[in-house]
């Protein structure tokens, strides 16, 4: 019987790539996002897989996670994987970040991850099986260069939350891990950065001279979601082209 993955922020970018990869790996997928129109468009692109459902979800609301869990159970019988991917990525200079903007980023990126881990972690623990995969970032490890201070802080917090929830559920068949991408070649990058500037960034900032393919990030998540990864928990897997080594 196919397992079911619930993915937040699945309407575009890495989230949509994750959804497609898990569908191709014979998972059922519940795609969630706060943007209902973008979510509908993403659903249409993947509808031919016949194992995909969508649910509008605001990660700031615990009830929305509980509703998503209910939808997964109603449509697919159960859920085995949660990917906390939803995030916003403003690049406001640190001295220009308002208190309101700081709180908004932390609420979506960090609180959203916390609530997802709470709701699905408790459910997985009851089932004695489950995989939680949190999308962290190179910015959370290095303090961020191109990203905003609030974004970098939220991603650093996700790495710590990953360890906390991993420890909480380690004896109940539930693993909690994070993936920390560096520069990834997604539409949001190519649409915002001129080609010549992007080439300069790749040549001068990334030791391996290339950005990560988003499918690599999805493949890392698939491996962490597998039965074989039962002994991996509390970890953060890097894909940053050698920008940050540890």
Q: Among residues of the chain, what percentage have pLDDT more than 90?
A: 90
| pLDDT, tens digit (0-9, with 9 covering 90-100), for 57-66 | 999 999 999 9
Question: Is residue 151 flagged as an active site residue?
Answer: yes
127 band by pLDDT with thresholds 50, 70 and 90: very high
Active-site choice (22, 151, 165, 169):
151
Q: Which domains does the chain have, with CATH numbers?
A: 4-184+213-238 (3.40.50.720)
> Could you tell me whether strands 81-84 and 52-56 are parallel, antiparallel, or unpaired per DSSP bridges?
unpaired
Q: Is this structure's pTM higher than 0.75?
A: yes
Beta bridge partners of 54: 31
Tell me how far apart the alpha carbons of residues 231 and 15 are, in angstroms, rounded to a whole number.
25
* 112 touches 134 (CB < 8 A): no
């Amino acid at each position: 019987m196919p397992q079911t993955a619930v993915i937040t922020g699945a309407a575009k970018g890495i989230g949509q790539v994750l959804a497609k990869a898990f569908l191709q790996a014979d998972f059922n997928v519940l795609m969630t996002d706060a943007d209902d129109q973008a979510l509908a468009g993403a659903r249409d692109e993947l509808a031919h897989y016949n194992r995909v459902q969508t649910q509008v979800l605001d990660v700031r609301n615990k009830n929305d996670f509980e509703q998503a869990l209910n939808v997964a159970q109603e449509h697919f019988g159960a859920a085995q994987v949660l990917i906390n991917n939803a995030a916003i990525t403003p690049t406001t200079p640190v001295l220009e970040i308002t208190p309101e903007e700081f709180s908004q980023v932390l609420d979506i990126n960090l609180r959203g991850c916390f609530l997802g881990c709470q709701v699905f972690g408790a459910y997985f623990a009851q089932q004695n099986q489950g995989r939680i995969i949190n999308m962290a970032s190179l910015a959370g490890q290095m303090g961020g260069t191109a990203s905003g201070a609030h974004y970098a802080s939220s991603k650093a917090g996700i790495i710590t939350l990953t360890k906390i929830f991993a420890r909480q559920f380690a004896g109940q068949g539930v693993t909690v891990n994070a993936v920390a991408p560096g520069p990834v070649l997604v539409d949001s990058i190519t649409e915002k950065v001129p080609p010549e500037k992007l080439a300069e960034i790749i040549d001068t900032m990334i030791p391996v001279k290339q950005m990560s393919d988003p499918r690599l990030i999805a493949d890392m998540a698939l491996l962490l979601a597998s039965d074989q990864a039962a002994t991996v928990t509390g970890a953060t897997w890097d894909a940053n082209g050698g920008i940050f080594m540890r």
